[in-house]
A and B are shown apart, each in its own frame.
Chain A
Amino acid sequence: MKIVVLVKQVPDSGAERTLRNDDNTVDRASANNVINEMDEYAIEEALRLQEAHGGEVVVLTVGPDRATESIRKALSMGPDSAVHVVDDALHGSCAVATSKVLAAAIAQQNADLVICGAESTDGRVQVMPHMVAERLGIAALTGARKLTVEGSQLTIERQTDEGYEVVTAATPALVSVWDTINDPRYPSFKGIMAAKKKPLQTLSLADLGIAAGEVGLDGATSAVAEHNKRPPRQAGNKIDAGDDGGAKLVEYLASEKFV
Chain B
Amino acid sequence: MAEVLVVVEASSQGGVKKVTLEMLTLARTLGGDVAAVVLGGSSDELTAKLGEYGATKIYAAAGADLDEYLVAPKATVLAGLIQRVSPAAVLLASTQEGKEIAARVAVKLDNGVLTDVVALEPDGTATQVVFAGSTIVKSKVTKGLPIVTVRPNSLTPAPAPATPAVEPVEVAVADKDRLAKVVERKVEAKGARPELAEASIVVSGGRGVGSADNFKLVEELADLLGGAVGASRAAVDSGFYPHQFQVGQTGKTVSPQLYVALGISGAIQHRAGMQTSKTIVAVNKDAEAPIFELADFGVVGDLFKVVPQAAEEIRKRK
Q: Interface digits, B305-318 against A, CB 8 Å rule (1 contact, 0 not)?
A: 11111111110010
Sorting the interface of chain A by its residue count into under 10, 10 to 19, 20 to 34 or 35 or more gives 35 or more
Nearest CB of chain B from residue A172's CB, rounded to whole Å: 10
A127: contacting residue among B106, B139, B141, B298, CB under 8 A:
B106
Q: Does B283 contact A (CB under 8 A)?
A: yes
Q: Does A130 contact B (CB under 8 A)?
A: yes
CB within 8 Å of A: which of B110-133?
110-116, 125, 129-133
Q: Which chain B residue has the least Cβ–Cβ distance from A224? A: B139
Q: Does B160 contact A (CB under 8 A)?
A: no
B103 and A128 within 8 A (CB): yes
Instruction: Summarize B's interface: helix, strand, loop or mixed.
Output: mixed
A241 and B301 within 8 A (CB): yes
CB within 8 Å of B: which of A111-126?
119, 121-122, 124-126
CB within 8 Å of A: which of B184-208?
184-188, 190, 195-197, 201
B115 and A227 within 8 A (CB): no
Take A161-B244, A247-B313, A259-B317 as given contacts and tell me if A236 and B295 are in contact as well, using a CB distance cutoff of 8 Å. Answer: yes
Q: Interface digits, B198-235 against A, CB 8 Å rule (1 contact, 0 not)?
A: 00010000000000000000000000010000000000
CB within 8 Å of B: which of A162-221?
162-170, 173, 178-180, 220-221
- Residues on A with C-beta less than 8 A from B36 are none
A163 and B186 within 8 A (CB): yes
- Residues on B with C-beta less than 8 A from A232 are 294
> How distant is the Cα of A15 from the Cα of B310 in the complex, in angstroms?
35
Q: Does B134 contact A (CB under 8 A)?
A: yes
B136 and A228 within 8 A (CB): yes
Nearest CB of chain B from residue A22's CB, rounded to whole Å: 15
- Residues on B with C-beta less than 8 A from A167 are 70, 180-183
A159 and B244 within 8 A (CB): yes
Q: Interface digits, B54-88 against A, CB 8 Å rule (1 contact, 0 not)?
A: 00000000000000001110010000000000000
A246 and B313 within 8 A (CB): yes
- Residues on A with C-beta less than 8 A from B244 are 159-161, 163
B110 and A221 within 8 A (CB): yes
Nearest CB of chain B from residue A202's CB, rounded to whole Å: 26
Instruction: Summarize A's interface: helix, strand, loop or mixed.
Output: mixed
> How distant is the Cα of A13 from the Cα of B70 in the complex, in angstroms?
30
Q: Does B107 contact A (CB under 8 A)?
A: yes
Q: Does A226 contact B (CB under 8 A)?
A: yes
Q: Which chain B residue has the least Cβ–Cβ distance from A141? A: B180
Take A121-B249, A222-B141 as given contacts and tell me if A18 and B131 are in contact as well, using a CB distance cutoff of 8 Å. Answer: yes
> How distant is the Cα of A230 from the Cα of B255 in the complex, in angstroms?
15
Nearest CB of chain B from residue A106's CB, rounded to whole Å: 14
A258 and B201 within 8 A (CB): yes
> How distant is the Cα of A17 from the Cα of B137 in the complex, in angstroms?
13
> How distant is the Cα of A179 from the Cα of B234 in the complex, in angstroms?
13
CB within 8 Å of A: which of B247-285?
249-250, 257-258, 267-269, 272, 275, 279-281, 283
Q: Does A55 contact B (CB under 8 A)?
A: no
B139 and A178 within 8 A (CB): no
> How distant is the Cα of A162 from the Cα of B102 in the complex, in angstroms?
21
Query: Nearest 7 pairs between A and B by C-beta?
Result: A241-B301, A246-B309, A221-B112, A139-B179, A127-B103, A246-B310, A222-B112
Other than the given A130-B100, A169-B179, 15 more pairs (CB < 8 A) read: A14-B269, A124-B115, A125-B99, A126-B96, A127-B103, A137-B176, A145-B243, A162-B11, A173-B179, A222-B142, A225-B138, A227-B135, A233-B275, A250-B310, A253-B258
Interface of A toward B, CB cutoff 8 Å: 13-19, 24, 37-38, 94-96, 99, 119, 121-122, 124-131, 134-135, 137-143, 145, 155, 158-170, 173, 178-180, 220-230, 232-233, 235-242, 244-250, 252-254, 256, 258-259
Interface of B toward A, CB cutoff 8 Å: 11-12, 70-72, 75, 95-96, 99-100, 102-104, 106-108, 110-116, 125, 129-144, 176, 179-188, 190, 195-197, 201, 225, 243-244, 249-250, 257-258, 267-269, 272, 275, 279-281, 283, 287, 292-302, 305-314, 317
Query: What are 5 A-B pairs at a CB distance below 8 A?
Result: A121-B250, A161-B197, A223-B139, A227-B137, A245-B309
